[in-house]
Structure 1
Amino acid sequence: MVNDTTNDLQAIKTVNDLIKDIKVAMFTTISTDNKIISRPMQTQEVEFDGNLWFLTMKDTEKYDEIISNPTINLAYAGKSYVSISGTAEFIEDAAKKKEYWNPIFDKMLDTTYDDPNVVLIRVDADSAEYWDSGNTVKSVKTFVKKLTNKDTEKDRKEINDTVDFK
């Protein structure tokens, strides 16, 4: 019997392998008036260990949304599709900001990493779902079956594995 720690490590490795080459995630928050808002954000190049890192500014709606409700979702699309649910937290760490900073951010954000308005977002992943798109026909077939309520547990398992991190 495999213990939960081994399962968790395998789940984290699987998600890491699926998202490591995808630079941008759709970062979804819930607005203060309860609307779902998504925007593209660059994931920092750090191996996924159950946490993901992003940079943002404090004077944004995204910042206010996370303060109000830290529950978020990240969607990655590439050779596979990955949806990660978790909790966002702001981290003030000058060394990490400098480490994760990219000169492109100077122009994009019109500032530097040491600006006190720049803040890190650490997303603690709770769960992830992924669809391996290696077999597109099978993926489309499974989605059609879901819409007609004719899918089986076996069909879902082949396409959609859910991993929990907590």
Structure 2
Amino acid sequence: MTDSTHPATRQEAVKTLAGLIKEVHFAMLTVQTGAGHLHAHPMTTQQVEFDGDIWFIGSRDSEQVRDMAARPQVNVSYSNPDKGVYVSVYGTAKLVEDRAKLDELWSDFYQTYFPQGKEDPNIQLIQIHAGGAEYWEGNGKIRSLLEFAKGLVGGKPDMGENETVRL
């Protein structure tokens, strides 16, 4: 696996990350608790084009949202093992009130969590402004296993690409 800091422009980095996370339906959003522990929560990935900001819909009364309000530095990780794609994005969380954005992000899926629909007073939009990311892109599950086996028998495996980008 190569390991480098990619000299891409912000626009190129955003485009690369958008392509990698586009088909990942769930992400893990990691926050820091009041006790200083890191706590990750599964979140539904919004089907909007990544432009440097990641959006989630959360519960206003959740511990996770309270933690983000107090300590906005967060991490969002994505995993698509079938394609050999792993992405870790660090950034700053902001709690947002924006009806137009809620309308854009809303799907009937959320009705389970917010029984009153888009009018539920417990809805909290969460905007993560990405500061940078690291990603690993392999050759898919089977190819990665073959390359790993190659390494075990003394060959030099090609485990894919590892890049760090600043946004």
| Same fold, judged at TM 0.5 (above) | yes
The amino acid of 1:65's aligned partner reads D
SS in 2 for 1:22: coil
Which residue in 1 is equivalent to 2:77? 75
2:89 is the alignment partner of 1:84: yes
Structure 1 residues 138 and 121: alpha-carbon distance in aligned structure 2, compared to 1, 3 A threshold: farther
CA distance in 1, matches of 2:102, 2:47: 12
Checking the alignment, whether the CA contact within 8 Å between 1:98 and 1:114 is kept in structure 2 is: no
SS in 2 for 1:34: coil
Q: Which runs of 5+ in 1 are unaligned?
A: 145-154
The amino acid of 1:61's aligned partner reads E
Which residue in 2 is equivalent to 1:55? 57
The structure where helix makes up a greater share of residues is 1
Task: Give CA-to-partner distance per residue, 1:105-130, whole Å, 9 cap, x none.
Answer: 11133331122221110100011101
RMSD (Å), alpha carbons: 2.2
CA distance in 1, matches of 2:92, 2:65: 13
Which residue in 2 is equivalent to 1:108? 113
CA distance in 2, matches of 1:86, 1:138: 35
CA distance in 2, matches of 1:122, 1:164: 18
How far off is 1:159 after superposition?
Answer: 2.3
Query: What stretches of structure 1 move > 6 A for 4+ residues in a row?
Result: none
SS in 2 for 1:129: strand
Checking the alignment, whether the CA contact within 8 Å between 2:114 and 2:120 is kept in structure 1 is: no
Structure 1 residues 47 and 30: alpha-carbon distance in aligned structure 2, compared to 1, 3 A threshold: same
CA distance in 2, matches of 1:33, 1:21: 34
Task: Give CA-to-partner distance per residue, 1:33-59, whole Å, 9 cap, x none.
Answer: 111101110121110110010001110
Q: Which runs of 5+ in 2 are unaligned?
A: 1-6, 153-157
Structure 1 residues 59 and 127: alpha-carbon distance in aligned structure 2, compared to 1, 3 A threshold: same
User: How many matched pairs?
Assistant: 148
Checking the alignment, whether the CA contact within 8 Å between 2:75 and 2:88 is kept in structure 1 is: yes
Checking the alignment, whether the CA contact within 8 Å between 2:10 and 2:166 is kept in structure 1 is: yes
CA distance in 1, matches of 2:109, 2:165: 34
Checking the alignment, whether the CA contact within 8 Å between 2:114 and 2:123 is kept in structure 1 is: no
Task: Give CA-to-partner distance per residue, 1:59-87, whole Å, 9 cap, x none.
Answer: 00011110110011011001200000001
Structure 1 residues 159 and 70: alpha-carbon distance in aligned structure 2, compared to 1, 3 A threshold: same
The amino acid of 1:15's aligned partner reads L
TM-score, normalised to structure 1, is 0.81
Structure 1 residues 44 and 34: alpha-carbon distance in aligned structure 2, compared to 1, 3 A threshold: same
Mapping 1:4-43, distance limit 5 Å: 7-43=9-45
Which residue in 1 is equivalent to 2:4? none
Instruction: With a CA cutoff of 8 Å and minimum separation of 6, indicate the structure with the bigger relative contact order.
Output: 2
Which residue in 2 is equivalent to 1:148? none
